[in-house]
Structure 1
Amino acid sequence: MSAPPATALAWAAADPYDAALRAGRGPLFLRRTDGWLLPLEVERWCARADAVDRDVLDRCEGTVLDVGCGPGRLVAELAARGRTALGIDVSEAAVEHTVRLGGQAIRRSVFERLPGEGRWDTVLLMDGNIGIGGDPDALLERVAGLLRPGGLLIAETAPTDVDERVRVHITDAHATSSAPFPWARLGTRALLRYARGHWERDGQWTAGGRRFAALRNRSASSSAEPPKRTAVISSQRVRNTSGGRPVPER
């Protein structure tokens, strides 16, 4: 299984993104080809989990995979609670920041082979990450393959009722830009439309001006593997600094 190259490679090579994460501040934007800018909340992402984040984490079940974990505030908070959690991100700076906070993370795309496929209890798509790859159908299918049957997806949706697929750049205040890549923006209604037939709605809510939806995986994943004992990830790009339980081995 390979990553959509335009998305994964653009984020991985996005110097403005890595620079902002290492500095812990923006400004940073997603810029559409028509010039429209979407501000990225770098300062919030680089801070510790806030009350809205902690409420989301309270809803998580069992082992948690944070897709597009960014600088790792959610993975670190879960680790501090003694929960089994792994973050994945294509940005080296994001993975390094997550590990410094005490979480586990690996540098990888969601569309590449991942540890624990078919056995995760919860997958998180926060901070607009439902847009990864620019194809909501493909992303939801992939997430279903990561979860155990009956597993939980919690996604943060756009604050407005939007359903768009666009090409964007990551850009900073100095107009330094990444290569263009596909992205999607979905409101809750749009996400629920894409989820019909394969997912069960498990809830939706608004908190702190942010919107969320929970979906439950209906059926067994074709990529699920036989149950194995829990083991530490063998990747050299992962360190268990949390003192918590290890994440499932692939």
Structure 2
Amino acid sequence: MSMDLPITRLHLDQWDRPADEIDRTLLSLCAGPTLDVGCGPGRLTAALAEQGAVVLGIDVVNGAVGRTRRRGGAALHRDVFDSIPGEGRWETALLADGNVGIGGDPVALLQRLREVLDPRGRVVAEVAAPGTPPTNDWATLECGVEHLVVRWSVVGIEDIAGIAAQAGLAVVEQVQAGERWFAVLEEAA
């Protein structure tokens, strides 16, 4: 790893708030049991649970998992590339807040999610706005005193279809809500 500081700093406190109207638009794209990958402090995991959905948040940051649980959401300290409860049965994998960049290889992440999902399942991914150049670098996840350096990518709305296709998925819907962009990915026909 380079000794330079990561170009992206992700302060989990910025997501430690109740779900808002735009978050609810994102959540409306989820169907059935949902795995919230990189759940952070759990605002979306908790919001889905409050709606009566079966939802599990996973995150590599211990503090984030604790915050999700304190909100009443189910969460595990887990890397998405490790064993996940219910593999092959989840109907939705949620990648909010740019989490399609987890691991620094969006194609590998989407391929992994195909293993986690039911074959009829979907990935709901929040991506960057039009004109955002793709990046592949490092990020620092910060939660209180906990700092974790991870591989991280940024994927824009213009690039998600090509990345999805490389993973055997297709973009079936794109939604803009305020200044945020969402894409729904399903198995390619």
TM-score, length basis structure 1: 0.67
- Contact 1:149/1:218 (CA < 8 Å) preserved in 2? no
Equivalent residue letter for 1:212? F
- Contact 1:130/1:155 (CA < 8 Å) preserved in 2? yes
- Contact 1:95/1:105 (CA < 8 Å) preserved in 2? yes
Equivalent residue letter for 2:138? R
- Contact 2:90/2:121 (CA < 8 Å) preserved in 1? yes
The equivalent residue for 1:195 is: 164
- Which of 151, 174, 177 pairs up with 1:182? 151
* CA distance, structure 1, for counterparts of residue 40 and residue 76 of structure 2: 11
Pair 1:164 & 2:135 matched: yes
How has the CA–CA distance of structure 1 residues 142 and 85 changed in structure 2, closer, same or farther, with 3 Å as cutoff? Answer: same
Equivalent residue letter for 2:84? L
Please state which structure has a larger fraction of its residues in strand. 2
- Which of 25, 31, 53 pairs up with 1:55? 25
- Which of 19, 33, 42 pairs up with 1:72? 42
Give the 3-state SS of the residue equivalent to 2:40 in structure 1: coil
The equivalent residue for 1:3 is: none
Pair 1:93 & 2:63 matched: yes
Deviations 1:191-229 (A, max 9, x none): 21111161121111211211111101248xxxxxxxxxx
Equivalent residue letter for 2:153? A
* CA distance, structure 1, for counterparts of residue 86 and residue 175 of structure 2: 29
Give the 3-state SS of the residue equivalent to 1:123 in structure 2: strand
Pair 1:84 & 2:69 matched: no
* CA distance, structure 1, for counterparts of residue 22 and residue 165 of structure 2: 27
How has the CA–CA distance of structure 1 residues 177 and 155 changed in structure 2, closer, same or farther, with 3 Å as cutoff? Answer: same
Count of residues in correspondence between the two structures: 185
Give the 3-state SS of the residue equivalent to 2:65 in structure 1: helix
Give the 3-state SS of the residue equivalent to 1:196 in structure 2: helix
Report the structure number with the largest CA radius of gyration. Answer: 1
How has the CA–CA distance of structure 1 residues 179 and 89 changed in structure 2, closer, same or farther, with 3 Å as cutoff? Answer: closer
Identity of aligned residues (%): 41
How has the CA–CA distance of structure 1 residues 149 and 33 changed in structure 2, closer, same or farther, with 3 Å as cutoff? Answer: same
* CA distance, structure 1, for counterparts of residue 25 and residue 138 of structure 2: 32
Gaps of 5+ in 1: 1-5, 7-31, 220-250
Give the 3-state SS of the residue equivalent to 2:159 in structure 1: helix
Equivalent residue letter for 1:168? A
The equivalent residue for 2:74 is: 104
- Contact 1:147/1:217 (CA < 8 Å) preserved in 2? no
- 1:183 Cα deviation after fit: 1.1
Give the 3-state SS of the residue equivalent to 2:153 in structure 1: strand
- 1:47 Cα deviation after fit: 0.5
Range moving further from structure 2, 178-187 or 118-127: 178-187
Give the 3-state SS of the residue equivalent to 2:52 in structure 1: coil
User: Cα RMSD between the aligned structures?
Assistant: 2.4
- 1:178 Cα deviation after fit: 4.3
* CA distance, structure 1, for counterparts of residue 111 and residue 57 of structure 2: 19
Gaps of 5+ in 2: none
Pair 1:216 & 2:175 matched: no
* CA distance, structure 2, for counterparts of residue 35 and residue 107 of structure 1: 23
- Contact 1:72/1:95 (CA < 8 Å) preserved in 2? yes
- Contact 1:169/1:177 (CA < 8 Å) preserved in 2? no
